Amino acid sequence: MLRGALRHGAAGTVALGLCALAVAATALALPAQLGRTLDLVLAGAPAAPGAVALSGALLAAEVVLEALAAQLGGSTTARSTAWLRRRGLDHLLSLAPHRAADRFAPGDLVTRLTGNAAEAGTAPSTLAGGVAALLTPVGALLALALTDPWLALVFVAGLPLLALLLRSFTRDSSSAVRRYQQAQAELAAHLVEALGGARTIAAAGTLHAERHRVLAPLPRLGAQGHRMWRIYGNAVAASAVLVPLLTTAVLAVGGIRLSHGALTVGALLAAARYATLAAGVGGVTGQLNALVRSRSAARRLGALLALPPLATGARPLPADGPGRLELRAVTVVRDGAPALRDVDLVVPGGTTLAVVGASGSGKSLLAAVAGRLVEPDAGRVLLDGVPLDAVDPRHLRREVGYAFERPVLFGDTLGEAIGCGPDRPVAERDLVAAARAAGADGFVRLLPDGYRTPPHRAPLSGGEHQRVGLARAFAHAGRLLILDDATSGLDTVTEHQVTRALLHDVRPGTRLLITHRVGSAARADLVAWLVDGRLRALAPHAELWQDAAYRAVFAPGAPDAPAPAEPGATP
């Protein structure tokens, strides 16, 4: 992850590195120049004014270069963070919808794509600045040795203590940062869950219990946060003690050397400055802290990118295909157990198939497999003779449409929410026709801004929300349209009207209806009856109705359920 971020922002990182090196070079040149200037001034030499001007120029250059380095660091971090977030989001969207959800909670995903990506994005600028931060004390130590070898030996004697300090800080900080980020992700996951179930929490009167659950990771978060600051504070405090001691030792020996005529006053000034810069190796602690956080954050983001994407092909579907759907020995495993088991199913093109079964029988999973929202663990799914994993994904999404029980409305307006699809924009007349077929046109026009009303400002009931989702599916209907319990919020009369419109006013094709209503099953051409993930029967509704177990699907515990409705009749 970090190498990729460095490669992506190579130009900015190189520019920042060069600028940081220039800052380091200026910082190293300045003590020698100041020392030389002081000696010239004390000696009353004619070159003193020129030396003073050069010293001022070096000081100004150092200030300007540091400001430029700060600006380059900010822009490099922003670009790296944006690249990491785009890469993470693109990969997340390339997965089968269940893969990330099975591994990470929604709040955890948000944390990885936002906070963790931001921390990982600081790595290029931190690394560039860290190299310069390390070169400055190393260069200062060499310059100190050139100024006076004895002073350099005095300073080197204290370096093992600084090395131990940095090693201890890196080890302890890595552990604290990792645990802090884990607690942070857990807290975010609990919060997102609570926000999604706010109405349930309010209705159940469990606000205090839910607050306790959401905030349960907070003590660990606080403990690890305090631990990080203690580690960092201890390292800074230790550096604050060691650095003055080293500098004082160098000055003491330098004073003795000065008294014996081995050093000039200017050389002692330069040596004192170089000792301070060389002691700045303790300041690398801050750079190490940032790199440790970046590395830990990159690992968390990398865990998301490690999930294998959904394999895609490049084949188109036959242009004149009727929408024949085939499932061949399809098995899907969930939590170590088969949720769909060896399902063999053929749906002729143009057929309306109702999929029924008790809760947990695998109806929605079969719907997801049929349109390749879920990849089967075994078996194959074909549409018009072409395996779905070989079809170009954009072509597949144009030809396979979905409507869900709880649709999410994207876009700034209801019109955009209906028109949202692989082929945009949808002509207004087609958009309105789809809304009319779904029974949504009437209530949308009654809104103050009609189709221009933002979804979050539209007071939609559950059934109306479903009808807008149906309108979106109808507007982009292809050869296969899958309705996953998408009419469960509609009353019987409205459902009947929508079903008739689906059969007569929407592009002809194959229909797959996941339903628990007897009327929908009665109006379908065929019914696929699932029991515990297996296809128990495939037959017309009237034929299956003779089986008491089938009747019990619609009226559990009541084998004497009412007789089936005639096709096209309202039950």
Specify the amino acid at residue 552.
A
pLDDT tens for 436-459 read 999 999 999 999 899 999 988 888
Q: CA 358 → CA 361, 532, 554, distances in Å?
A: 6, 8, 8
Residue 374: which pLDDT band, with cuts at 50, 70 and 90?
confident
Number of H helices, E strands in the chain: 24, 10
Q: What is the mean pLDDT of residues 377-398?
A: 92
Enter the tokens of residue 165. Answer: 């300090």
Q: What is the mean pLDDT of residues 224-238?
A: 80
pLDDT tens for 104-123 read 877 888 888 888 888 888 88
As a whole-number percent, the residues of the chain with pLDDT over 90 amount to 24
Give the count of beta carbons closer than 10 Å to the beta carbon of residue 58. 19
pLDDT at 74: 87
- Give, as one character, the DSSP assignment of residue 109: H
Distance CA 421, CA 398 (A): 8
pLDDT at 349: 93
pLDDT at 323: 92
Residue 285: which pLDDT band, with cuts at 50, 70 and 90?
low
pLDDT at 564: 44
Q: 517: number of CA atoms within 13 Å, CB side? A: 21
Distance CA 513, CA 510 (A): 10
Strands 480-484 and 510-514: parallel
Report whether 370 contacts 512 (CB < 8 A). Answer: yes
pLDDT tens for 286-317 read 677 778 888 888 888 888 888 888 788 889 89
pTM, two decimals, is: 0.68
Distance CA 222, CA 210 (A): 20
Residue 555: which pLDDT band, with cuts at 50, 70 and 90?
confident
Q: CA 121 → CA 368, 375, 558, distances in Å?
A: 36, 33, 61
pLDDT tens for 6-16 read 777 778 888 88
Q: Is the pLDDT of residue 223 over 60?
A: yes
Nearest to 478 by CA among 386, 419, 401: 401
pLDDT at 269: 87
pLDDT at 284: 67
Strands 510-514 and 352-357: parallel
Residue 571: which pLDDT band, with cuts at 50, 70 and 90?
very low
pLDDT averaged over the chain?
84
Please report the sign of the dihedral spanned by the C-alpha atoms of residue 284, residue 287, residue 289, residue 291.
Answer: negative
Q: Is the pLDDT of residue 486 over 90?
A: no
pLDDT tens for 139-156 read 888 888 888 888 888 878
User: Where would I find the H helices in 218-283?
Assistant: 218-259, 265-278
Sheet strands side by side (includes 510-514):
400-404, 480-484, 510-514, 352-357, 526-531, 534-539
* Domains parsed from the chain with CATH numbers: 2-305 (1.20.1560.10), 325-554 (3.40.50.300)
pLDDT at 446: 92
Q: Is the pLDDT of residue 494 over 90?
A: no
Helix H or strand E segment including 383: strand 378-383
Q: 6: number of CA atoms within 13 Å, CB side? A: 13
Distance CA 362, CA 277 (A): 68
Report whether 42 contacts 265 (CB < 8 A). Answer: yes
Angle at the Cα of 462 (from 461 to 465), degrees rounded to 5? 85
Residue 324: which pLDDT band, with cuts at 50, 70 and 90?
very high
- Give, as one character, the DSSP assignment of residue 521: H
As a whole-number percent, the residues of the chain with pLDDT over 70 amount to 92
pLDDT at 563: 42
Nearest to 369 by CA among 385, 387, 394: 387
Which of 58-67, 85-94, 555-564 shows the lowest per-residue confidence on average (mean pLDDT)? 555-564
Q: Is the pLDDT of residue 569 over 50?
A: no
